[in-house]
């Protein structure tokens, strides 16, 4: 019976397949195989023994049900793995499995393989989403809209600026994934307290050889675990990605509000239902789900950071916690990346409403430009600010166009003609360097991925 929504509602096949139990078992078998190969190459165990272990270190032979059965008896997952693999090996090869290793050598090294696969999936989707936002930035770099600060109309901007801003942030998230992969995805084969004592003087060479076989960098130093600041960093990167997706979805939700309705997510009028009781509703459910799930991803950061301080060389308090937060964080982050790709690929623009909202304040949004042009024409900046502020307050209070109010001021007429003011009040021509900024983001993006 399915209980957790990840089992039936949230997640993508590609990320779920990485974290499902059989793949996790295979990754642990891969590490046991790499250990035997490394030991054979360094003359610790016979080559034919390592070859036999390698040939049987597969879920084709070592079945998950059998390993789980043994674990129920032993109450130890890695002991169960070792016994399950040993049962499949011919001759005395089973006697050599796991020599010189401790359980967490297998756990942490195999988890590094899982993380590596997970990060590759996340990176591909961050790239894809960034490219979608870059395309939207290019297509809409001249689509003028109202910019809002503190929820209030501020100055004109463009949708190109919005999308380019998000694309630039996604690039930083991609870079953070890359950096976290370097720190997190490492191999270790260092024994009970990290000294490789069971393997003698050749232990450190075994450690490095195992890493080479697994195609992972060797951890520089461990004590029985790869230090959990690396795992916390990865969890924080996923939380940061989730926050970027939350930001994007929140903005789209706000822009889809009935009284704004500048853009929104696609609604299928033939099939989709917005409300069980209100037939007219077309709710931003995709964006809302992104925002909701992002909260869950962010919540894992505290647990991940608390897993770093362990007793002495280690204790087991991190283990049970990580069995939950690692797969869930990867699956849910990947899931909302997928949702955001869907959301951004099917945006609906309402151009009439964009223009309506741009002019909603009767020209108040051009107050800064009026002040700046008066200053350029010779009026003192503070004087210009005071006059425009006075006029803006009057226009707002009496619901009059700022254009009309400003022209009642004799002080203004000394510096600006009616025609000057008319040009100044056009929001489509007050965009500063916005087009250049977007173009530079687009140009630099060619080297991103």
DSSP one-letter string for 71-124: HHHHS-HHHHHHHHHHHHS-TTGGGGTTTT--HHHHHHHHHHHHHHHHHHHHHH
Across the chain, mean pLDDT equals 95
Domain range enclosing 395: 361-430
Task: Give the position of tokens 């270190």.
Answer: 57
Tens digit of pLDDT for each residue in 79-94? 999 999 999 999 999 9
**76 given a catalytic annotation:** no
Tens digit of pLDDT for each residue in 183-235? 999 999 999 999 999 999 999 999 999 999 999 999 999 999 999 999 999 99
What CATH number is associated with residue 388?
A: 1.10.40.30
Active-site choice (4, 21, 275, 444): 275
For the chain, how many residues are written? 449
pLDDT of 409 > 70? The answer is yes
pLDDT of 404 > 90? The answer is yes
- State whether 372 and 255 are in the same domain: no
- State whether 246 and 120 are in the same domain: yes
Q: Rounded CA gap, 11 and 235, in Å?
A: 17
> Stretch 235-254: mean pLDDT, rounded?
98
Q: Is 263 helix (H, G, I), strand (E, B) or coil?
A: strand
The phi and psi torsions of 352 (rounded to 5 degrees) equal: -60, -40
DSSP 187: B
DSSP 429: G
Nearest to 381 by CA among 394, 364, 368: 368
- State whether 159 and 243 are in the same domain: yes
- State whether 24 and 162 are in the same domain: no
Half-sphere exposure in the Cβ direction for 25 (13 Å, CA):
24
- State whether 60 and 75 are in the same domain: yes
Residue 320 to residues 15, 152, 176, 228, 303: CA-CA distances in angstroms? 21, 47, 26, 14, 11
- Residue 274: pLDDT band with limits 50, 70, 90: confident
Number of domains in the chain: 3
- State whether 94 and 228 are in the same domain: no
**275 given a catalytic annotation:** yes
Active-site choice (150, 312, 320, 433): 150
pLDDT of residue 24: 98
Half-sphere exposure in the Cβ direction for 219 (13 Å, CA):
25
Tens digit of pLDDT for each residue in 156-192? 999 999 999 999 999 999 999 999 999 999 999 999 9
- Residue 248: pLDDT band with limits 50, 70, 90: very high
pLDDT of residue 267: 76
- State whether 128 and 242 are in the same domain: yes
Is 212 inside any structural domain?
no
> Stretch 364-384: mean pLDDT, rounded?
96
Q: Is 353 exposed, middle or buried (0-12, 13-18, 19+ CB in 10 A)?
A: middle
pLDDT of 277 > 90? The answer is no
């Amino acid at each position: 019976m399915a209980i957790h929504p990840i089992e039936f509602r949230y997640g993508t096949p590609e990320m779920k397949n990485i974290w499902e139990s059989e793949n996790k078992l295979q990754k642990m078998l891969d590490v046991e195989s790499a250990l035997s190969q490394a030991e054979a190459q360094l003359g610790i165990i016979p080559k034919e023994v390592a070859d036999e272990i390698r040939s049987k270190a597969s879920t084709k032979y070592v079945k998950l049900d059998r390993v789980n059965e043994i674990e129920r008896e032993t109450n130890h997952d890695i002991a169960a793995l070792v016994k399950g693999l040993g049962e499949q090996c011919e001759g005395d090869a089973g006697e050599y499995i796991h020599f010189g290793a401790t359980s967490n050598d297998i756990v942490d090294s195999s988890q590094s393989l899982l993380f590596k696969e997970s990060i590759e999936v996340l990176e591909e989707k961050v790239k894809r989403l960034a490219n979608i936002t870059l395309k939207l930035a290019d297509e809409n770099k001249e689509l003028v809209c109202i910019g809002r600060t503190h929820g209030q109309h501020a100055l004109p901007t463009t949708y190109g600026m919005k999308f380019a801003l998000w694309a630039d942030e996604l690039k930083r998230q991609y870079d953070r994934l890359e950096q976290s992969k370097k720190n997190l995805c490492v191999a270790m084969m260092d024994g009970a307290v990290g000294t490789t004592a069971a393997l003698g003087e050749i232990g450190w060479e075994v450690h490095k050889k195992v890493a080479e076989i697994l195609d992972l960098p060797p951890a520089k130093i461990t004590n029985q675990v790869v230090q959990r600041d690396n795992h916390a960093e990865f969890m924080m990167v996923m939380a940061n990605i989730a926050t970027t997706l939350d930001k994007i979805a929140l903005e789209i939700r706000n822009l889809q509000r009935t009284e704004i309705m500048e853009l929104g997510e696609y609604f299928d009028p033939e099939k989709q239902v917005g409300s069980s009781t209100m037939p007219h509703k077309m709710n931003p459910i995709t964006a809302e789900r992104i925002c909701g799930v992002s909260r869950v991803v962010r919540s894992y950061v505290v647990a991940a950071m608390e897993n770093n301080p362990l007793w002495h060389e280690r204790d087991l308090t991190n283990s049970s916690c990580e069995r939950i937060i690692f797969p869930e964080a990867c699956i849910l982050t990947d899931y909302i990346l997928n949702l955001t790709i869907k959301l951004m690929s099917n945006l609906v623009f309402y151009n009439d409403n964009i223009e309506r909202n741009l002019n909603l304040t009767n020209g108040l949004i051009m107050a800064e430009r009026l002040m700046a042009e008066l200053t350029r024409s010779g009026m003192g900046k503070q004087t210009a600010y005071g006059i425009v502020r006075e006029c803006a307050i009057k226009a707002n209070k009496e619901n009059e166009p700022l254009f009309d109010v400003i022209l009642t001021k004799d002080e203004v007429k000394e510096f600006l003609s009616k025609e000057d003011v008319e040009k100044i009040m056009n929001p489509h021509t007050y965009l500063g360097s916005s087009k250049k900024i977007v173009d530079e983001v687009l140009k630099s993006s060619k080297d991103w991925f």
